[in-house]
Amino acid sequence: MYPPPPPAPHRDFISVTLSLGQSYDGSKSWRRRSCWRKWKQLSRLQRNVILFFLTFLVLCGLLSYISVADQWRAVDGRSAEERKARPADPPVLPAPQKADANPENSPGLLPQKPQRHFRRGPPNLQIRAPDKDSKDRRQDDTRRRDEVVGDARQEDSTQRTVVSWRGAVIEPEQGTEPPSRKAEGPPTKPSSQAPGIQNQPASPNERQRAVIDAFRHAWTGYRKFAWGHDELKPVSRSFSEWFGLGLTLIDALDTMWILGLKKEFEEARKWVSKKLRFQKDVDVNLFESTIRILGGLLSAYHLSGDDLFLRKAEDFGNRLLPAFQTPSRIPYSDVNIGTGAAHPPRWTSDSTVAEVTSIQLEFRELSRLTGSKKFQEAAEEVTRRVHSLSGKKDGLVPMFINTHSGLFTHMGVFTLGARADSYYEYLLKQWIQGGKKETQLLEDYLEAVEGIKRHLLRRSEPRKLTFVGELAHGRFSAKMDHLVCFLPGTLALGAHHGLPADHMELARALMDTCYQMNRQMETGLSPEIVHFNLYPQSDRKDVQVKPADRHNLLRPETVESLFYLHRLTGERKYQDWGWEILQSFNKYTRVPSGGYSSISNVQDPLNPQPRDKMESFFLGETLKYLYLLFSDDPALLSLDAYVFNTEAHPLPIWAPPRVG
């Protein structure tokens, strides 16, 4: 017997296939049968796994279909609305946005790449009529965004930056061309004739003629030995450079105009026109170049009405803006006006409080004149931040502020001298410049004056001179810089503008002291720093000078305050004191071949030791204030029409906008 044949393998498969009733009718049918055969060959587990994946894929497909379909519906709907909303003949360009509404227009601070995530829909549909609420919201949004963007900016800038030895250099988007004014507010032109300045000045009196003579002598030296350079070295008959921008020439422009030195002014103007170029690979100090160069150009523009100076000021202002590109919006001390790389000093990431808070008059005025808000925005952001910082003592501020954290550093040291002085001056002067409306500035100023009275005022022995000392961690020091002598003038100016009468009393008392700081020296010129005697029993004089502090840099502060005190009280003694000081300058600092020199020892009339340097502020400030002090005409640069920046450059007080 033959054993029964083994069952044909996969027999059921065959039978099932056939039972489908499909015949071989070409490759498709054959492939179907082959797939089915393979499927049946799989184990139950394998089939389940495959079925699960297939179900999953189908579900995913369904879900994404639903979402895409929704978007398409939305797009279709919006297009329909847009089609309805658009005017029949749409503008080719989007309507301009106001500068202050657009964070990308503010200070050159934000990364200047397009911020795609802020933009939705066509730009012309984003413009809405400004209303107060939306403006406030915008400001809040801008502020919030700035915080976020501050971090992003850091990242962004590291990508676009040449990193310096400080790790803090920023590659700017350097605008050498004046910014387009179309997108921003309208510029403000000066009146064709600056008030208080005649084309032909009234004939100067004898003392004013002496100032003109001093100016001419200084100018002769500069013209002969330093033309177009920053500073004259009168003894060696050469020059020194700081920024390489003709600093003395620019600082002196408005003085020449005020003194009526037309020929000299025209020659200097020609140099500005033909030679002054800011496209230079050079670091400038933000504060010093703002108060001297920007301030000087703006003032020259106002007095002369010559557009050249405004164009130069705008170009220069643009080149300073990268200094504000810091994590905290507190500007770096230095910026390269050719490359736009900004950085703090080599030894610290701090800036000086006086420096970052004494650029606002100039930046605000530049915005007003150009209609471009970015200058004002950048500078006022600093004011706002400093206002809300902790670490002050009854309105008195420390001397340093960190550009990364935005916080005060070196806490607990308070002075009205170097590194803090013009913070106080600019609180008052900005308030005046803006038409006395910005009450926060006024409040900060008033609080600071109270702080000065409470913590820094003392009287010396034996003559009871009122002076402003310093406070270091609760310890009082009877040290006073000559720089503090700006304060009597500032206090008097505030009183003139309606602040308490006791400010004027304090101004008078401090003026006497500053005069004595000059008078008690053998040369009649103040040293850089004095210490006051506090002990009644000693046989010391009131004013003491340490050997290291005996120098005089031809600084203006005493004569600056004398100008205010005379202008606002009419008392002749202030003119007489100024006259003494001018004579001392002539006697001890005048260099026969031209120019004046700072000296090393105000206590040695036989050998005052010339230092061979004429600072630009001698022409920009000292001689200008002396000339104005000797004038008896209160309308000459009236204190109701002008406010002087901290380098003595007069800028107009903003008139209230005309109604109707």
CA neighbor of 516 nearest in space, from 537, 493, 544, 494: 544
Distance between CA atoms of residues 555 and 579, nearest Å: 15
Q: Which are the catalytic amino acids?
A: 288, 421, 528, 557
Distance between CA atoms of residues 390 and 336, nearest Å: 31
State the minimum distance, in angstroms, from the CB of residue 645 to ligand DMJ: 9
Distance between CA atoms of residues 578 and 596, nearest Å: 17
State the minimum distance, in angstroms, from the CB of residue 254 to ligand DMJ: 14
Single out the residue of 647, 649, 650, 651 in contact with ligand DMJ (rule: CB under 6 A): 647
Binding-site annotation: residue ranges for Ca(2+): 646
Decide whether 526 or 575 has the Cβ nearer to ligand DMJ.
526
Decide whether 104 or 230 has the Cβ nearer to ligand DMJ.
230
Distance between CA atoms of residues 522 and 348, nearest Å: 39
Decide whether 550 or 555 has the Cβ nearer to ligand DMJ.
555
Binding-site annotation: residue ranges: 646
- Give residues 496-555 in contact with ligand DMJ (rule: CB under 6 A): 555
Decide whether 318 or 646 has the Cβ nearer to ligand DMJ.
646
State the minimum distance, in angstroms, from the CB of residue 611 to ligand DMJ: 15
Decide whether 370 or 422 has the Cβ nearer to ligand DMJ.
422
- Give residues 205-264 in contact with ligand DMJ (rule: CB under 6 A): none
State the minimum distance, in angstroms, from the CB of residue 358 to ligand DMJ: 7
Q: Is 558 left (phi over 0), alpha (psi -120 to 50) or beta?
A: alpha
Distance between CA atoms of residues 624 and 145, nearest Å: 45
State the minimum distance, in angstroms, from the CB of residue 517 to ligand DMJ: 14
CB 176 within 8 A of CB 338: no
Please count the other Cβ atoms lying within 10 Å of the Cβ belonging to residue 51: 10
Distance between CA atoms of residues 234 and 255, nearest Å: 20
Distance in Å from the first CA to the final CA of the chain: 128
State the minimum distance, in angstroms, from the CB of residue 647 to ligand DMJ: 5
Decide whether 377 or 421 has the Cβ nearer to ligand DMJ.
421
- Give residues 467-496 in contact with ligand DMJ (rule: CB under 6 A): 483
The site string for ligand DMJ over 596-635 (x = CB under 6 A, - otherwise) reads ---------------------x---x--------------
Phi then psi for residue 270, to 5 deg, are: -60, -40
Decide whether 215 or 617 has the Cβ nearer to ligand DMJ.
617
CB 471 within 8 A of CB 414: yes
Distance between CA atoms of residues 233 and 226, nearest Å: 8
* Side chain identity at residue 457, one-letter code: L
422 forms part of the interface with ligand DMJ (CB under 6 A):
yes
How many Cα atoms occupy the beta-carbon half-sphere of 344 within 13 Å?
21
Single out the residue of 222, 527, 646, 650 in contact with ligand DMJ (rule: CB under 6 A): 646
Number of amino acids touching ligand DMJ (CB under 6 A) = 9
The site string for ligand DMJ over 289-328 (x = CB under 6 A, - otherwise) reads --x-------------------------------------
**Per-residue tokens: 104:** 């990308």
State the minimum distance, in angstroms, from the CB of residue 195 to ligand DMJ: 24
| Helical pair 501-519 and 487-496, crossing angle rounded to 10 deg | 150
CB 382 within 8 A of CB 210: no
Decide whether 312 or 419 has the Cβ nearer to ligand DMJ.
419
Distance between CA atoms of residues 9 and 414, nearest Å: 103
DSSP result, 298-366: HHHHHHH--HHHHHHHHHHHHHHGGGG-STTSPPPSEEETTT--EE--TT-SEEEHHHHTSSHHHHHHH
State the minimum distance, in angstroms, from the CB of residue 431 to ligand DMJ: 18
Residues that bind ligand DMJ (CB under 6 A): 291, 422, 483, 555-556, 617, 621, 646-647
